[in-house]
Amino acid sequence: MISKSIFRQYDIRGIVEEQLTKENTKLIGYYLGLTIQEKTKVKNPYIIVAYDIRKHSTMLFEALISGLNLAGCKILNIGLVATGVNYFASYQEFEIDGKKIKPQASIMITGSHNAKQYNGFKITIENQPYFADDLIKLYEKIKKNENIKIDDKHNFIEVDAKTLYIDYMCKQFKELKGLKEKFVIDCGNGMADTVITKIFDKLNLNYKALYTTPNGDFPNHHPDPSNEKNLHDLKSHLKDDCHYGFAYDGDADRIAVLTQKHNIKGDTLALLFSKTMKNPVIIGEVTYSQNVFDEINTYGTTIMDKTGYSNLRLKLKELNADLAAEVSGHIFFNDRYYGYDDAIYATFRVLELIKSGMNIDKEIEKLPKIYTSSNIEIQIKEDKKFLLMSKIEEALKRLNRDFPIIKNICKVDGLRINFEYGWALVRASNTNPILVTKYEASTYATAKTYQNSLEKLIQKEIDELNSTAS
């Protein structure tokens, strides 16, 4: 039996053996292969397949390609790599049997930043993310025909994408060669150092590296740099002449950038990168600080879009913008790159800022002082979260005088409620049974006022939902 729950908003992901098994992975491979043929109109498409270091990734690889082989696809195996290398490979040409071949699709087998028992698949077709409704359609195809027997068939063509990637980065960032600024990286025993220190060494950079050996047990800390506790070891090295640090999630498509003073979130990174671009067009998401939007708008253009790495990647290409970024650390460069999220590439763009003489701390400190909360999660049953969002929206239309005065509400992704001195956000998570809230204001006290008012309203609607259900 295959569960709909593993077909998430942005990828396929679940607990291996419980939700993601050898047999249902074969089915995913087979019906995904047929879908790729249908979408590309190529009878025997070439598909880049790679995997991360998790203990079950090889098993899933063999099961997945068994299904793809049955569907008539040709697998280009690039092995153990970071997700950015997988995406990079899908843009390259490979010589197969004397012919230049360009892949039609890519699949990355990875559990990303999830706990070690998870794994899954990030998919692109013709370099566009395959997600959301398309994944539900794939599930429905499988569900109707899940009793077919798929034999093991592990045929693939091995190709070297890592060397192409390393050579590309060394060429793109040759001006960094010999940079004396000392920095430290924390790979978290994930996939970053399948390539990154090789590039550093070729460029003769001055770095220290922590936890570089890929290990699916993640023995040193969980590979999620958005959680402060996972940055403790990195921070301990930011002293004396070492001013900058970089950390990566498990598949190295998400980055954390630190100085001795700041943990620089994705929206602030977008601001720093935009300062090097002429008339930049920058795509942000609804959790951005208003400061970032306001500052970039003084010399460029910003567009607010939905949270989610697949959403931002699509919007970036649709508008041919220069850059998109999530606060969580997914950074997408269309400027001088291919437009996908690659934390390794983003590292070198930060090093460029440093080489150019930008004082990153001072640039951050130029922004007006505000208070911004972290994301605050409110647990709610999966089948109730969107109904609750509707009830919150209705409640905001009939407020009394006890609630802060609302200037307007942005509905791009959930409800971003704009007040005179800041904003509050409430949105339903696309991946978990929660609502996410966030608050920003000119002072901590004002932000707490917004938080207390909105949380009181939300709790009232939850209580009414619960009383109705009982």
For the stretch 317-373, pLDDT in tens is 999 999 999 999 999 999 999 999 999 999 999 999 999 999 999 999 999 999 999
330 is catalytic: yes
Q: Are the C-beta atoms of residues 266 and 327 closer than 8 Å to each other?
A: yes
Q: Domains in the chain, please, with CATH?
A: 4-159 (3.40.120.10), 163-365 (3.40.120.10), 371-469 (3.30.310.50)
Query: In which band, very low, low, confident or very high, does the pLDDT at 44 lie, cut at 50, 70 and 90?
Result: very high
Among residues 8, 313, 330, 349, which one is catalytic?
330
User: pTM value?
Assistant: 0.95
Give 261-308 pLDDT, tens digit per residue. Answer: 999 999 999 999 999 999 999 999 999 999 999 999 999 999 999 998
The predicted structure's pLDDT at residue 382: 87
Give 70-110 pLDDT, tens digit per residue. Answer: 999 999 999 999 999 999 999 999 999 999 999 999 999 99
Q: Are the C-beta atoms of residues 424 and 451 closer than 8 Å to each other?
A: yes
243 is catalytic: no
The four Cα atoms 155, 138, 384, 305 give a dihedral, to 10 degrees, of 90
Query: In which band, very low, low, confident or very high, does the pLDDT at 468 lie, cut at 50, 70 and 90?
Result: confident
Residues in the chain: 470
DSSP strand pairing (242-248 vs 182-186): parallel
Task: Find the mean pLDDT for residues 160-182.
Answer: 98
Query: In which band, very low, low, confident or very high, does the pLDDT at 430 lie, cut at 50, 70 and 90?
Result: confident
Task: Find the mean pLDDT for residues 442-449.
Answer: 97
The predicted structure's pLDDT at residue 470: 64
Please report which helix (H) or strand (E) contains residue 145, including its range.
none
Among residues 57, 90, 112, 310, which one is catalytic?
112
Q: Which residue stretches of 109-227 are H helix?
A: 133-144, 161-172, 196-202
Among residues 13, 221, 349, 416, which one is catalytic?
13
Q: Which residue stretches of 356-420 are H helix?
A: 360-365, 385-396
The predicted structure's pLDDT at residue 467: 85
Task: Find the mean pLDDT for residues 29-33.
Answer: 98
Give 200-227 pLDDT, tens digit per residue. Answer: 999 999 999 999 999 999 999 999 999 9
154 is catalytic: no
Which of 22-26, 177-181, 232-236, 430-434 comes out lowest in average pLDDT?
430-434
The predicted structure's pLDDT at residue 399: 80
Task: Find the mean pLDDT for residues 232-242.
Answer: 95
Separation between Cα atoms, residue 210 and residue 247, nearest integer Å? 9
Q: Is the pLDDT of residue 123 over 90?
A: yes
Task: Find the mean pLDDT for residues 171-195.
Answer: 97
